[in-house]
Amino acid sequence: MFPNGISVLSLFSGIGGAEIALHRLGIPLKNVATVEISEASRNIFRSWWEQSNQKGNLIDDICDVKKLDRKRLQQLINSFGDFDLIIGGSPCNNLSGSNRYKRDGIQDIALLAFQSHMQVESASCPRSPQANYDTDGSDDLAWDLEDVVTTEPVATVSCNGEALAESPDSPPECERACSDLFSSESADDFNYELSDSDSDWASEEKVDNLSEKDRTLKLLETMGYPLDEAAIAMDRCGPNASIEEMTDYLCAAQMARSADAFFYDREEEQNKKRRLFEEENRWKRKKEKRFERIDECDDTTHLPNPMVGFGLPDTRLVVKRTLPEAAIGPPYFYYENVALAPRGVWNTIARFLYEIEPEFVDSKFFSAAARKRGYIHNLPLNNRFPLKPIPPQTIHEAFPSTKRWWPAWDRRTKLNCVQTATASAKLTERIRKALEGWEDSDPPLKVQHDIIHECKKWNLVWVGKNKAAPLEPDEIEMLLGFPKNHTRGGGISRTERYRALGNSFQVDTVAYHLSVLKDMYPNGISVLSLFSGIGGAEVALDRLGILLKNVVTVEISEASRSIFRSWWEQSNQKGNLIDISDVQKLDADKLEQLISSFGGFDLVIGGSPCNNISGSNRVSRDGLEGKHSSLFYDYFRILNQVKAIMSKT
């Protein structure tokens, strides 16, 4: 019907589902006018339009369907000619079967946008017979088309595929302005999109027993607003305020806030700033004291550059070592922590672990991301071998689709160390806006410098034109050597996934060190895994082809234990798995019981928390004396107890 292209008026266009469908059908998009209230959705659609190299005309400056009046429509039709297709689906918030509290059908204010849709139809469609609009169980509504403007047939489609038309008897609410709260994709600005699936609601009997105030609070909570914020809105607006007034207040507060806090108390904010100021001063004083002690005692561990450890694959060993007799395995042990620790930390760790020299390695020599870590172990150094296949070594090898969008002035080839948090949407939006107007030339050096700084800090990659984005959890899994979807599902949130991955081993690096165990334990290995996290050591051993005969994991994070147990089951491990929640509960009696059951441990592996060691901690970087990092002494205690018990047997 339209071999030369189609002109589309897309109402409540969201992220462009209709336009993508037409594009994938091979129908050229000659002219497209979109109407969408969500700025985020408009940005996503415009980004797709640019990246898919559309040649047609795009008008996306109409953000509110109520503002698309007869005059504006006439301007569009004069510019484009008649529209061939009018498509859209008005908000379903008050139609959806899962909205048990405010399922008011077409009469509710949330459906005023539908009447706006009908008014657009009347301004652009020829007179035609009545059409029914089926609304998932609502009464059928007949709408008469009138006030013809165009003379050519126009196709009109609703979200359920029925023809759309206009009612001569629109309800009085139509005269009210349609609030910015309503959009097909505005879950963050109003109540979340209620789906047609069943939800875990309280029984109707319980709801009926609630007071009017509690019922209103419950309704606001189901809309997606935190209960404490809803209570504040009710107090500020008054007990007799309508739901619309409260949601207006909540959304206005969201738009007005300058920080991440929603409602905040001025006094509390001042106290927070005062605490941060005091902590910063404390940090400066501690730093000055450390510099004062430099001349008194040089307890510095000098990090190698490049950080290649005792040798990389296909290179000769750069060190030969002789271990103290007390350190010789079995049991073998392997300890890991961040390389860039405060002064004296690695000397202390080495002193407790038999005066063994640390092996400092940057994982950028094994993958596309840096990860500077120190390892103290008593493993042999000869006959190491890397995991196969060799993982991608550069950003573009790891993420080929980014090469198309990568600006020439961003010269990164490797990513920085994976963190436990990710960049905000606000940051990526600021980057996009900073690059606006520089499509045909490089931005100023100051802009380049600032953007590269943020990209390095947060490991941002270029996924579209002027569009930087943080790594997804599954992309980080690949960089760290874990199987795809290793941390996904099982009730684990995205935040927990980022945190767990940020605290994990880089599997390829650790596997290179552990590879010497394959020939030593052909029938399987018994492992005591302390601070095991999401199982980086066990994944490395499994990928090396070493049978996991017995594994005892000690990990305090329930989310990490759940991820590890899920991997254990999905990878069809046949050995014995015992998980313990707290390293401080693993005493000598428990160890003796485990050793008598398994016949001893072949490997004791782990890395105690780096919270008080990491350079990113500007508040409580107290080294091994810190609350979390002092758990290193439990690693030393348990290792000594294992060696003592096994020496008796």
Q: Which residues pair with 34 in a beta bridge?
A: 10
Residue from 254, 207, 15 nearest 99 by CA: 207
Q: Tell me how far apart the alpha carbons of residues 165 and 605 are, in angstroms, rounded to a whole number.
A: 69
Residue from 43, 41, 23 nearest 32 by CA: 23
Contact between 55 and 28 under an 8 Å Cβ cutoff? The reply is yes
Pairing label, strands 359-362, 372-377: antiparallel
In angstroms, how far is CA 586 from the centroid of its own chain?
34
* Side chain identity at residue 197, one-letter code: S
Nearby residues of 18 by Cβ (< 8 Å), 6 or more positions away: 8, 10, 87, 88
Task: Provide φ and ψ at 469, rounded to 5°.
Answer: -145, 150
Residue from 411, 312, 410 nearest 364 by CA: 312
Nearby residues of 201 by Cβ (< 8 Å), 6 or more positions away: 98, 100
* Side chain identity at residue 643, one-letter code: K
Contact between 37 and 63 under an 8 Å Cβ cutoff? The reply is yes
* Side chain identity at residue 446, one-letter code: K
Instruction: Render the burial of 574-610: b for 16+ CB within 10 Å, e for the rest.
Output: eeeeebbeebeebeeeebbebbeebebbbbbbbbbbb
Q: Tell me how far apart the alpha carbons of residues 194 and 217 are, in angstroms, rounded to a whole number.
A: 17
H/E segment holding residue 463: strand 461-464
Residue from 374, 292, 343 nearest 608 by CA: 374
Catalytic-labelled residue, pool 178, 251, 417, 610: 610
Contact between 56 and 5 under an 8 Å Cβ cutoff? The reply is yes
Q: Tell me how far apart the alpha carbons of residues 499 and 340 are, in angstroms, rounded to a whole number.
A: 20
Cα R_g (the chain), whole angstroms: 31
Only one residue has tokens 């929640």, namely 581
In angstroms, how far is CA 571 from the centroid of its own chain?
25
Q: Tell me how far apart the alpha carbons of residues 139 and 119 are, in angstroms, rounded to a whole number.
A: 20
Q: Tell me how far apart the alpha carbons of residues 11 and 118 are, in angstroms, rounded to a whole number.
A: 11
Q: Which residues pair with 375 in a beta bridge?
A: 336, 359
Q: Could you say which DSSP state residue 415 is in?
A: B
In angstroms, how far is CA 133 from the centroid of its own chain?
39
Q: Tell me how far apart the alpha carbons of residues 514 and 525 are, in angstroms, rounded to a whole number.
A: 12
User: If 0-12 CB within 10 Å is exposed, 13-18 middle and 19+ buried, where does residue 444 land?
Assistant: exposed
Contact between 498 and 510 under an 8 Å Cβ cutoff? The reply is no
Q: Is there a catalytic annotation at residue 174? A: no
Token pair, residue 457, equals: 């800090």
Beta-sheet strands, E only, within 38-81:
57-62
Q: Tell me how far apart the alpha carbons of residues 510 and 346 are, in angstroms, rounded to a whole number.
A: 19
* Residues designated catalytic: 610
